[in-house]
Every structure is written in C-alpha cells, then in structure tokens.
Amino acid sequence: MVITIITLMIGLLLPTLSSARNTVRVTTCLSHQHQLALGVSVYAADHNDQIPRGPHTEPSFIALSFGVPVAATEDQVASSIILNASSTLGVYFNSHGVLLNAYLQNPRSMFCPGDDTTDPQQELQKIRDGATPIFSSYVYRNLDQAPIGRISNMGDNDHGVKATALLVDSNSILDAQPDTYRTNHGNDPVNIAYTDGSGQSLRNENNVFSLTPNDYYGGWTTIEAAYNRILINNDRQP
C-alpha cells in the first residue's frame, strides 16, 4: 500500500516539476536576452549610438544556401550568426557577436537554456576553439526593418511602427535537415528583448514568431518576408 501511494504521489509531482523546470528555463532565457540588450546599449554608447551589426557585404551564407544573388547586405538581414569567416573578410564578429569581444562577461548568455538542439554545447566549444560559423540561440535584427539603427531611434518598420524589438528566440520548425530545425522552449512561448533593455514572453499562437515550412518554399525571398513578419509582430508589443 505504501509503495502504491508513493508511486501515485510521484506521478502527480512529475508534471509539476517538469512545468517548474520549463518556467525556470524561460526565465533564464529572458535574463540572457536582457544581458545581451544591455551589452548592445553599452556598445552603442561607445559607438555614437549605433547598434552593432553585420558587415556591409553580401551575406555569403545566403548565396551559399540558395545559390541566388541577393540585394540585401549582411547588416540588413536578421541573423543568429555571431562569428563567421569569408575569403574577403577573414574571421569576423557578426551582428550581436561583437559583444563577445568586450561587452559580454559570459558567452553562455548567447544561448537559451531551453534550446531544443545540442547547439549551445557545440557553439560554446566553437567559441573556445575559435571555429566558425557560430550561431546564437537568438535572432538579432541588425538593420532589418530598422533603417536608422540607433539604439535611441531604430526608425520605423514597413508598417510605420517604431522598431523596438532587438532580439527574439530562434524558432525554425522546418524539419527538412538537421540544421533547419532550431527552436527554443518547444517553440512556445517566445522571448523578446527590446531596445530599452526590457523583455517579455509571448505565446507563439499560429507560429507568428516562427519560420515555418511554407516560409522556405520560395528561397531567400520568402525567408526574408518571414523575418520581416516576425520583427514587425514583435514591434507591435510595447
């Protein structure tokens, strides 16, 4: 009888413990994004109010992935790449990756504890080894839908709304190959950090904050449109 009661109690407690762990991961993830947003603000204070962003060159990772020329440059597209290499630039910090150079005490802040892949361990090891490319768990907007790019005024997005979202959980739910499925905390909720250092967790209803299989069908054109949609949806959350 005692064993039966203990078994029943464990069965009742396990869902609660699992829920508590998930809550801690979401909260820790939001704290990591907050640290990154603060790092961006400090960087901007040292660089005439400008946010860090990718180089003003064609994003080679896009051309390599889809084999088509693109009009955007790497500083104009949202990206989770924080360290990259090219034949022309050599090894370079990209986007919020520049924070690793002098503005971030712990590189673990680049990664979500609820990342559903093994990326945090692999990417942290690549940081230690100096390998490239390195992907953060978070998508950073660069100048995507933010034409001015100053921390005090990013400009208006294509819907005429002030650009305020800075980082968002990386959530790609295309399960076509190992490197296309990348989500944080099960794709719901999604954490967002803003230019003022604040952040919040939002329900990801109807995958409004995710890259879906449909978003990949048109190559870079539909992927860029999807990132624009995600950023604009984020900017609507004061």
Tens-place pLDDT, residues 3-21 = 555 555 555 444 553 556 7
User: What is the DSSP secondary structure assignment for residue 150, as one 8-state letter?
Assistant: B
Residue 69 preceded by cis peptide, ω within 30: no
Contact 115, 9 (CB under 8 A): no
Length of the chain equals 238
Total domain count, the chain: 1
Tens-place pLDDT, residues 78-123 = 989 999 888 788 888 889 999 998 899 899 999 998 888 767 888 8
Tens-place pLDDT, residues 216-228 = 887 777 888 899 9
Q: Which residues contact 152 (CB under 8 A, 6 or more apart)?
A: 44, 49
Q: Which residues contact 29 (CB under 8 A, 6 or more apart)?
A: 112, 113, 114, 137, 169, 184, 185, 191
Question: Residue 235's pLDDT is what?
Answer: 94
- Count CB atoms within 10 A of the CB of residue 29: 27
By residue range, what is the domain housing residue 72? 2-235
